[in-house]
Amino acid sequence: MFDKRFRKTVRMAKMLRKGERVAVGLSGGKDSTVLLHSLASLKKDLPFELVAITIDEGIEGYRARTMVPAKRECERLEIEQKIFSFKELCGKTLDELVAGSEKSRSQKQESALPCSQCGVLRRYALNKAAMETKADKLAIGHNLDDMAQTMMMNIMRAEPSRIARMNEPVLKSGRFVQRIRPLMLTPEKEIAIYAMLKGIALEHVECPYAGSAFRGHVRKMLNESEERYPGTKFKIMNSFLEMEGTLRERYSKGASLSLCPECGEPSSKGMCRFCQLSQ
């Protein structure tokens, strides 16, 4: 059932082609590790190259621990792993950035929250790493729960333009590696069961900043809804897939992509968010 759904998602959304080079964003958590295993298994039937990319955000007591299973599973599956860090890319760890924001800004400001900063830097770092490894596709371990949560968060914040770019940027650029999410229709619970059945030993450690996320509130709300009205998360995901094309068309009209004057990477206007945060 698990493999069948995984393969169907890849096939239906035309995510992969024979001979492509696929970089997997591998954090060492259950989703990305299961994604690595599933892609490694698919690779036996549809030949493509696989490389793992691990981003070390620099979160004391957290990332170093999840990097252990990430390295071990790459060795077990004989997949090359490349490690990139926030420190190398922007000169600061996430811990240092968070400490700086606490001093200079109000934590009520959403862009100053650790997960918002981390999200911006990780998206940038993964894309840069995928470009450097000459990947055609960047596979991300987002599951059904993640996607339904993101969709609801965007609705609750009244940000339809973010729904339009949930899967990939609205404007195409040769500097963006196309992202694929082969687990987007797989519930988180099934991924946990699959990891257990495959004997994948994981580090059960939570990011110290996780509690600050608005996502935590939405996750709880959706889990309660799913309990009372089974199928809620699939229905939210299907609504997203149904409206994605229309929204992308709407938000791409008249939009233009410029280059960040600091780093030269694509930016919707002026200095990109990565460079703003790195300063």
> 113 and 215 in contact (C-beta within 8 Å)?
no
> 124 and 274 in contact (C-beta within 8 Å)?
yes
Which one among 25, 114, 182, 266 touches ligand SF4, defined by CB under 6 A?
114
Retrieve residue 164's tokens. Answer: 């339009």
* Closest distance of CB 64 from ligand SF4, Å: 13
If binding is defined by CB under 6 A, does position 207 make contact with ligand SF4?
yes
> 163 and 240 in contact (C-beta within 8 Å)?
yes
* Closest distance of CB 118 from ligand SF4, Å: 3
If binding is defined by CB under 6 A, does position 211 make contact with ligand SF4?
no
If binding is defined by CB under 6 A, does position 216 make contact with ligand SF4?
no
* Closest distance of CB 212 from ligand SF4, Å: 8
Task: Give 99 or 259: the residue with its C-beta nearer to ligand SF4.
Answer: 99
Which one among 23, 70, 112, 118 touches ligand SF4, defined by CB under 6 A?
118
* Closest distance of CB 273 from ligand SF4, Å: 14
* Closest distance of CB 37 from ligand SF4, Å: 21
> 10 and 2 in contact (C-beta within 8 Å)?
no
* Closest distance of CB 229 from ligand SF4, Å: 27
Within 26-101, strands assigned E span: 49-56, 80-85
If binding is defined by CB under 6 A, does position 124 make contact with ligand SF4?
no
Instruction: Give DSSP secondary structure letters for 219-267.
Output: HHHHHHHHHHSTTHHHHHHHHHHHHHHHHHHHHHTT---EE-TTT--EE
Task: Give 143 or 248: the residue with its C-beta nearer to ligand SF4.
Answer: 143
If binding is defined by CB under 6 A, does position 153 make contact with ligand SF4?
no
Task: Give 214 or 251: the residue with its C-beta nearer to ligand SF4.
Answer: 214
Question: What burial class does residue 245 get, using C-beta atoms within 10 Å of its C-beta: 0-12 exposed, 13-18 middle, 19+ buried?
Answer: exposed
Restricted to residues 35-74, the positions that interact with ligand SF4 (CB under 6 A) are 57
Retrieve residue 13's tokens. Answer: 């959304």
Amino acid letter at 18? K
Distance from the first to the final alpha carbon of the chain:
48
Retrieve residue 266's tokens. Answer: 């694509």
Retrieve residue 210's tokens. Answer: 């996780």
Positions touching ligand SF4 (CB under 6 A) are 57, 114-115, 118-119, 207, 209-210
